[in-house]
Amino acid sequence: MSTLVRWNPTRNLVNEFDRFFETASDVRRQTPTYWGLAVDVAENEDGYIVVANVPGMNPDELDITMEENVLTIKGEVKENEDINSDQYHVRERRLGNFSRNIRFPADVNVDGIAAAYENGLLTLNVPKAEEVKPKRITVKVE
């Protein structure tokens, strides 16, 4: 004997929707996440100014290197261990490793690079090498 069950398209759709996101979140927890870092790069006569958003980061945990005119900023945003992942209602912050490479169009003075961190902003002042800075030539009148 078979039993008739009333078909409810809304309930079936909701169940499929829930199942999709459960699977996606399980995969996301198991695979490492890598994402790009939002930066602003500006140029003036003396060099370049790089500003990166790194809120909540400990500046000591940032890895900043310069090699062959390529500035690399790396770090990792870790999960808050005080909160169990099942307790979240909304989770929008990015977690995991991030990395950003910035190639400068002209030679820079690696020894003159200065980094500062304030209110979640990393600011790097990257001076141009002396040989690439514009030089004013004065004309002598005789």
CATH of the domain at 54: 2.60.40.790
Q: How far apart are CA 73 and CA 98, in angstroms?
A: 8
pLDDT > 70: percent of the chain: 73
- Which pLDDT belongs to residue 16? 65
**What mean pLDDT is reported for the chain?**
80
Q: How far apart are CA 126 and CA 43, in angstroms?
A: 9
Confidence of residue 6 (pLDDT cuts 50, 70, 90): low
Domain span at residue 90 reads 33-132
Residue 19 included in any domain: no
Residue 6 included in any domain: no
Residue 5 included in any domain: no
Q: Is 103 in contact with 70 (CB distance < 8 Å)?
A: yes
**For the residues 70-93, what does the mean pLDDT come to?**
81
Confidence of residue 27 (pLDDT cuts 50, 70, 90): very low
Q: How far apart are CA 67 and CA 55, in angstroms?
A: 25
Residue 14 included in any domain: no
Residue 48 included in any domain: yes
Residue 110 included in any domain: yes
Q: How far apart are CA 74 and CA 72, in angstroms?
A: 6
Residue 11 included in any domain: no
The reported pTM is 0.66
Per residue in 33-75, pLDDT tens?
556 788 999 999 899 999 999 888 889 999 999 999 999 999 9
Residue 12 included in any domain: no
Domain total in the chain: 1
